[in-house]
């Protein structure tokens, strides 16, 4: 393992100190491990809280700020935060209009946020939850834990965050978050495994000429392993899976994210985005807005995820609303 760390067990605490030092717009509660807006929550505004394991930066702390999240609770690397953290976050940011928890569908995140919601209700805080489950690599069935929540988390946080900023009620903001999730699909491919600081070794062995197809964001192996193919073919695989689940017609407008998993250079992400743009243009589908970069990462994993949101006019308008966070910033 070759990493810029001091000690594996100190990574989270020291990264939080770094986030606090780097971004004056954020305040960090080191004891409860909560990242919140330094300005606090405007009275009467619905507060958005998200969280999950660390190692996915900029998710979630990088999306705390005007127009997006009010607070984020980062757990240990790839480990869900604990209920006390989420409760502390909810208490810190509740502006009287309630708190929306945005939760990625991973068993640990779901269970801990569920317990936190119960604790928050006991404290007199109104809580709604949006569960993000956009990953089409996992087949939904009653026998599984359901689809994973991955890239669409960024879309949900941005669009619901904008509605909250505009004065939407807790019910309205939660409904919008659920609509965005329902309209979004993701698919990811890994070229290398990632190495958590605690284990010190790559999560799985991947030969030079192979790739893991259908991975999540925790360094877990994917659905299957295949020979590495050109970007064009990988994009075709991803879009086939996405469109099989969420058909798009000519004239449909989308928000598309081509997301690096942490170890892929931007030039490759642009190669991938080009293939996505060509493939969708062939079908007459419009990419109305896009993101290309590292937004939901998996430590040092090389690879890419593609997320497509079939966006309506409300979503596009909220997408364009001002946002001022470390990782997304426009319109201010």
82 binds other proteins (CB under 8 A): yes
Q: How far is the CB of 117 from other proteins (least distance, A)?
A: 12
Binding residue for other proteins (CB under 8 A) from 78, 101, 273, 319?
78
201 binds other proteins (CB under 8 A): yes
23 is an active site residue: no
CB-based contacts of 218, cutoff 8 Å, min separation 6: 53, 55, 78, 106, 298
Of 45 and 218, nearer to other proteins (C-beta) is 218
218 is an active site residue: yes
* SS3 per residue for 147-204: CCCCCHHHHHHHHHHHHHHCCCCHHHHHHHHHHHHHCEEEEEEECCCCECCCCCCECC
Of 34 and 269, nearer to other proteins (C-beta) is 34
Distance of alpha carbon 39 from alpha carbon 25, whole angstroms: 7
* Element of type H or E holding 281: helix 266-282
CB-based contacts of 313, cutoff 8 Å, min separation 6: none
CA distances 145 to 53, 56, 129, 251, 278, Å, are 18, 21, 17, 34, 34
Of 138 and 306, nearer to other proteins (C-beta) is 138
Binding residue for other proteins (CB under 8 A) from 22, 96, 171, 223?
223
226 binds other proteins (CB under 8 A): no
Q: How far is the CB of 13 from other proteins (least distance, A)?
A: 13
* DSSP of 199-225: T-SBSS---TTEEEES--SSS---SEE
196 binds other proteins (CB under 8 A): yes
Task: Map the footprint of other proteins across residues 122-141, applying CB under 8 A.
Answer: 137-139
Of 75 and 326, nearer to other proteins (C-beta) is 75
Q: Do you find a cis peptide bond into 230, omega within 30 degrees of 0?
A: no
Distance of alpha carbon 168 from alpha carbon 212, whole angstroms: 41
Strands 99-104 vs 224-227: parallel, antiparallel or unpaired: unpaired
104 binds other proteins (CB under 8 A): no
Handedness of CA 306, 308, 107, 56 (dihedral sign): positive
- Over the window 29 to 68, marking each residue x when it contacts other proteins by CB under 8 A and - when it does not, the resulting string is ------------------------x---------------
Read off the tokens for 314: 């409300």
Cα–Cα–Cα angle for 294, 323, 120, rounded to 5 degrees: 90
- Over the window 249 to 288, marking each residue x when it contacts other proteins by CB under 8 A and - when it does not, the resulting string is ----------------------------------------
Q: How far is the CB of 242 from other proteins (least distance, A)?
A: 17
Of 147 and 179, nearer to other proteins (C-beta) is 147
Of 219 and 262, nearer to other proteins (C-beta) is 219
1 binds other proteins (CB under 8 A): no
Residue of 222, 246, 217, 249 lying closest to 234 (CA atoms) = 222
144 binds other proteins (CB under 8 A): yes
218 binds other proteins (CB under 8 A): yes
Distance of alpha carbon 133 from alpha carbon 155, whole angstroms: 12
Of 67 and 151, nearer to other proteins (C-beta) is 151
Binding residue for other proteins (CB under 8 A) from 14, 17, 39, 107?
107
305 binds other proteins (CB under 8 A): no
**Which residues make up the interface to other proteins (CB under 8 A)?**
53, 75-84, 106-108, 111-112, 114-115, 137-139, 143-145, 148, 196, 198-199, 201, 203-204, 216, 218-224
Which active-site residues does the annotation give? 56, 218
């Amino acid at each position: 393992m070759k990493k810029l760390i001091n000690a594996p067990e100190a990574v989270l605490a020291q990264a939080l100190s770094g986030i606090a030092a780097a971004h004056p717009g954020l305040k960090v509660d080191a004891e409860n491990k909560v990242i919140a807006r330094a300005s606090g929550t405007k009275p009467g505004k619905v507060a958005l809280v998200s969280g999950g394991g660390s190692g996915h930066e900029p998710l979630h702390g990088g999306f705390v700020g005007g127009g997006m999240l009010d607070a984020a609770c980062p757990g240990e690397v790839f480990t869900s935060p604990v209920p006390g953290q989420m409760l502390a976050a909810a208490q810190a940011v509740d502006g009287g209009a309630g708190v929306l928890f945005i939760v990625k569908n991973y068993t640990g995140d779901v269970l801990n946020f569920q317990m936190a919601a119960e604790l928050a209700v006991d404290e007199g805080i109104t809580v709604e939850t949006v569960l993000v489950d956009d990953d089409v690599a996992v087949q939904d069935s009653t026998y599984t834990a359901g689809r994973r929540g991955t890239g669409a988390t960024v879309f949900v946080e941005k669009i619901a965050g904008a509605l909250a900023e505009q004065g939407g009620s807790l019910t309205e903001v939660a409904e919008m978050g659920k609509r965005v999730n329902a309209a979004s699909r993701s698919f990811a491919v890994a070229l290398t495994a990632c190495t958590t600081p605690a284990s010190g070794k790559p999560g799985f062995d991947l030969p030079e000429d192979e790739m893991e197809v259908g991975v999540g964001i925790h360094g877990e192996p994917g659905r299957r392993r295949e020979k590495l193919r050109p970007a064009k073919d990988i994009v075709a695989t991803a879009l086939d899976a996405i469109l099989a689940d969420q058909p798009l017609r000519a004239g449909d407008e989308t928000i598309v994210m081509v997301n690096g998993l942490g170890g892929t250079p931007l030039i490759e992400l642009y190669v991938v985005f080009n293939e996505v743009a060509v493939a969708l243009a062939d079908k007459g589908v419009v990419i109305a807005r896009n993101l290309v970069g590292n937004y939901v990462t998996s430590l040092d994993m090389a690879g890419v995820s593609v997320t497509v949101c079939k966006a309506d006019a409300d979503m596009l308008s909220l997408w364009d609303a001002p946002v001022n966070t470390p990782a997304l910033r426009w319109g201010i």
